[in-house]
A and B are shown apart, each in its own frame.
Chain A
Amino acid sequence: MLTKEDHERLAQTGPGTPMGELLRRYWHPIAASADLDTDPVRPVRLLSENLILYRDKAGKIGLIAERCAHRGISLAYGIPQQNGLRCAYHGWTYNEQGQVVDMPFEPACLPLKITAYPVEALGGLIFAYLGPQPAPLLPHYDLYVRDDLDRNVEIVELPCNWLQCMDNSVDPVHFEHLHGHYGNYVMKRVGNPPMLTTARHLKIEFDVFEHGIIKRRLVEGESEDCDDWQIGHPILFPNILSVGDVRRPNYQIRVPIDDTHTLHVRYQGILRQEGATPRTDVPVKRLSVFEENGAIKGWADDIPAQDMLAWVAQGPVIDRTAEHLVTSDRGVALYHKLLFDNMETVQRGDDPMAVVRDHAKNEPMIQIPRERRGYRAFFTVDGEYRDPVRPGMRG
């Protein structure tokens, strides 16, 4: 249970708020590169700021303020040019610095400038940095860079605060209930056999490391040398869950749109079979899973949908002045403490954890520890091991 002030410090994302300033020290994915092939100009809302992402005709990517300086029309309707993005209304044209470079109906071009932020493409995603200069390096986390993986991206917009996804990721025991008991209940309701064994948790543990927190669990039916206990799942601070086994590793990136909305980017790696031809593209699928009122469409009949249900069903912003954290929530408490500590770090003018400025650390990539095969005890139903690789999220 938090005070109202601490609750607000955790939930706010706008400029000038303590958490908003902390989040502005990191690069955030705002779209897939493939999105710009479909439509080269897209409205983007990130950290409570309305922006326009575009690729101009020369191939340069820009991220500038939402509205034209002339009479405030949305640049989402802009026309890509060789020299930038041209407003639909009267043709004022902006380069990727936000500088006006053309005012076709005026005798001269006034020296106006709108907000612009740096962007970088990596691994099929486009990342933006909204914080103070100099910008840190865009972290080369392994899945973005490895050459033995094929990749795809699934993007869902969630009607809830980003932190609700993260709280869920530092809470191992929910797996036993939400995915085991509730998941099997849903299976029964839809007339399918149970999906999981609800193996009891024997112990859980959390370790802080250079890039975040590693959570570990030991459940009945596994021994202490299992990967779930020896390696576990890393949470990359501040907003990425790294999950999946060596064959299908993925990142779940929870990008704060504003205080009550989250862009959930699931970045999937697929270990390529030996001798197979590498995929050159990174396809993107945009899914619509929730109604704006927070109701999930249909039954939550697979694990990702059940997790999304849990995040969104806490409401637009969970009221942390009314929650009751208990012993099994100590990962949540640890994670919140890391957030508060790092908000202080930023207010002192220092870099918070996991900000990367050293090229030697970033090149060629940052290796993330990953279990070879996790959750075995859960996926053994009736003595048979059931492959946890889901057939694909609802679309």
Chain B
Amino acid sequence: MLTKEQNETLTQVGAGTLMGDLLRRYWHVVGISSELDQDPVRPVRILGEDLTLYRDAAGKLGLIAERCAHRGLSLAYGIPQENGLRCAYHGWTYNEQGQVVDMPFEPACLPLKLTAYPVQELGGLVFAYLGPAPAPLLPRWDLFVKEDEEKEVAVEALPCNWLQCMDNSLDPIHFEHLHSHFGNYMMKKLGRPPMLMAPNHLKIEFDTFEYGIYKRRLVEGETEDCDDWQIGHPILFPNILAQGDAVRRQFQIRVPMDDTHTMHYSYIVRPTADGAAPRPIRVNRTSLFHDPEAVRTGKIVADIVVLQDLLAWVAQGPVSDRTTEHLVTSDRGIHMYRNMLLENVERVKRGEDPIGVIRDPAKNEPMIEIKRETKGYTAFGLNGSVQDLRPVGA
């Protein structure tokens, strides 16, 4: 149970807030490269700021403020030019520095400038950095860098604070209840066979490492040399869950849009079939919480593991009221993670880099390998196979 002030510290993401300042020390996903091929200008909301992401006619990417300096029209309607983005209303044109470079109906171009942030592409994603210069390196996490595999990204805008996703990722026990007991209950209601076994958790453990926290579990039916206990799942500080097995690996990236919304990216990588060349990255945008049935009943139909997690995050409300929660013995991973957030808030206040910020190219090149289990959750599998762990859209 937290005080109101502590909960606000943890959940506010706007500029000038404590957590907002911490989150601004990291690169965040703001778009998908292939989507800019379809529509080169897209509105973006991130960390409480409204921005416009575009690729100009010369191929240069820009991320600038949402509104034209003239009379405030959204630049999401802008026209890509060789020299930047041209406002739909009166043609004022901005380059990727936010500088106005053309005012076609004026005798001269005034020296105006909009907010602009640096962007970089990696692994088919577009990342932005909203913090103070000099920007750190964009981390070259392994899944983003490997180019010989099939990639897919599933995107869902969630009507809840980003931290609710992270709390869930530091809580191994929920797997036994939410995915097994509740999941099997859902299956029964839908007239389908059970999806998972529900073996009892024997112990859970959490270890910090250079880039975040590993969570580990041992359940009945597994031995201590299993991957779930020996390796576990890494949480890459501050907002990425890495999981999956040797074949199918993913990052779940929770990008705070504002205090009450999160853009959730599931970035999934798997080997190509028989050594074929990988296809272009697949993009799957869904809108589960605006589905008419979900609006009518107040509930989504959560019949796979990933949807059950989404359910748990969103069903805590727009911002979980942590002044009324009751953290108990099985929640100690959440304690550890929240403490890590608060410690790093302090580091940023002192003017230091928080953990997971990379400035040494030797560490970053060619990539940062993340140790992960090669075979997880085997004890949960029915008939020897773990089914229905597919993410959204898979």
Residues of A near any B CB (own CB < 8 A):
39, 42-43, 67, 69-74, 76-77, 79, 86, 88-91, 103-107, 110, 112, 288
Contact = CB atoms under 8 A, between A and B. Distances in A.
A79 B299 contact: no
Contacts of A107: 329
B320 A106 contact: no
22 contacts: A43-B297, A43-B298, A70-B328, A71-B331, A72-B321, A73-B316, A74-B298, A77-B299, A77-B302, A77-B311, A77-B315, A79-B182, A79-B185, A88-B178, A88-B182, A89-B177, A105-B173, A105-B329, A106-B328, A106-B329, A110-B326, A112-B326
Interface of B: 167, 173-174, 176-178, 181-182, 185, 201, 296-299, 302, 308, 311-312, 315-317, 320-322, 324-331
A106 B330 contact: yes
Contacts of A70: 325-326, 328
Contact of A69 (B320, B324, B329): B324
Contact of A89 (B174, B185, B317, B322): B174
Given A43-B299, A88-B177, A89-B312, 8 more contacts: A39-B297, A42-B297, A73-B312, A77-B302, A86-B181, A88-B178, A88-B312, A90-B173
B268 to A, nearest CB: 25
A110 B316 contact: no
The interface residues of chain A, by DSSP majority, are classed as loop
Contacts of A79: 181-182, 185
A308 B232 CA distance: 57
Contact of B315 (A73, A104, A110): A73
A77 B329 contact: no
A81 to B, nearest CB: 10
A71 B177 contact: no
Pairs A-B, 8 closest by C-beta atoms:
A74-B315, A88-B182, A43-B298, A91-B177, A73-B315, A105-B330, A72-B316, A72-B320
Nearest to B181: A91
A284 to B, nearest CB: 14
Nearest to B184: A79
A105 B172 CA distance: 11
Contacts of B312: 73, 88-89
B298, B325, B329 — most chain A CB neighbours (10 Å) = B298
Contacts of A106: 328-330
A90 B174 contact: yes
Highest count of chain B CB atoms <10 Å: which of A74, A86, A88, A110: A88
A110 B298 contact: no
Nearest to B302: A77
Contact of B325 (A72, A76, A77, A86): A72
B49 to A, nearest CB: 27
A165 to B, nearest CB: 22
Contacts of B330: 90, 105-106
Nearest to A45: B298
Contacts of B302: 77
B182 A110 contact: no
Contact of A72 (B177, B178, B296, B324): B324
